[in-house]
Amino acid sequence: MAYKIYRHGNRKEKSIALTFDDGPHPLFTVSILKSLAEYNIKATFFITGKDAEEHSELVQKIIHEGHEIGNHSFSHKSMIFRSIIFIINEIEKTDKILKNLGVKGEIYFRPPYGRMDTIARMVLRKMRKKIILWDNGPKDFKCLSSEEVVDKVLKKLKPGSIIVLHDGGGVDRSITVKAVDMLIPEILKKGYKFQTVSELIS
C-alpha cells in the first residue's frame, strides 16, 4: 500500500473501469445499479462521507451487489489551499464512515474535482493513499443528451481506461442514467471487459 496516482490501468489489456462520483442517489444510483446488474458488470463508486451518512442503506446495497466503493472526501469541498488538518480530517472521517458501513480492504481516494495542490499531495503521500483519477471523463454534467455522453466515452476509450460519470451531486442525472444503459452494450461489443478499479490497477 503506497501513494500513487492512477489515471488508467494496463494499456495492454482490453479492460476498463466504470466509475461514478458524487452519489449515491435514491433514484439515479438505483437505476444505474439495475443496468449494471442486467449485464453482470461491477463498477466503482466514489462517495463523499456526507452522502454515505445520508444514504447508508444505498451504500450497503452497492456493497451487497458486489461493487467497489472509494473515498471522495467528506464534504466535497475543493482540496486546494486547505490546511493539513482539514485534508486529513476529510479523508479519515470518510474512511471511518465507509468502514463502518461494511467497506473492506484498502480504500482508494479521488479528490473532489480531481484536484490537489502540493500540500494535498504531501498529506496523501504520508497517508499512503492510492489516488484514482481518470483518462476518460466526458463531462457528463455538461452534456445535453445521453448520446453525447456515449459518443464522447467511446471516442476516448482505450485499453485500461478509467471512465468517470456522475450519479449524484444534487442535480438531475437522467442523461447519465440513460447513457450508462446505452454505453455498456457498446463497450462489450468492442470486446472490453469491465473491472473494478482495484482489479484494473492490480
- Indicate the residue among 176 and 192 with the shorter CB distance to Zn ion: 176
Cα separation, 53 vs 72, in Å, equals: 13
Instruction: For the CB of residue 150, give the shortest distance to Zn ion in the complex, in Å.
Output: 21
Q: Is 118 helix (H, G, I), strand (E, B) or coil?
A: helix
Cα separation, 202 vs 199, in Å, equals: 5
Give the CB-nearest residue to Zn ion.
Answer: 21
- 172 catalytic, yes or no? no
Give me Rg for the CA atoms of the chain: 16
Instruction: For the CB of residue 49, give the shortest distance to Zn ion in the complex, in Å.
Output: 13
Q: Which of 72, 140, 166, 167 is catalytic?
A: 166
CA atoms within 13 A on the CB side of 30: 6
Residue 72: DSSP 8-state: -
Which residues make up the interface to Zn ion (CB under 5 A)?
A: 21-22
- Indicate the residue among 134 and 194 with the shorter CB distance to Zn ion: 134
**DSSP H helices in 114-173:** 118-126, 146-156
- Indicate the residue among 21 and 68 with the shorter CB distance to Zn ion: 21
Q: Which of 8, 21, 67, 167 is catalytic?
A: 21
- 140 catalytic, yes or no? no
**Catalytic residue numbers, as ranges:** 21, 166
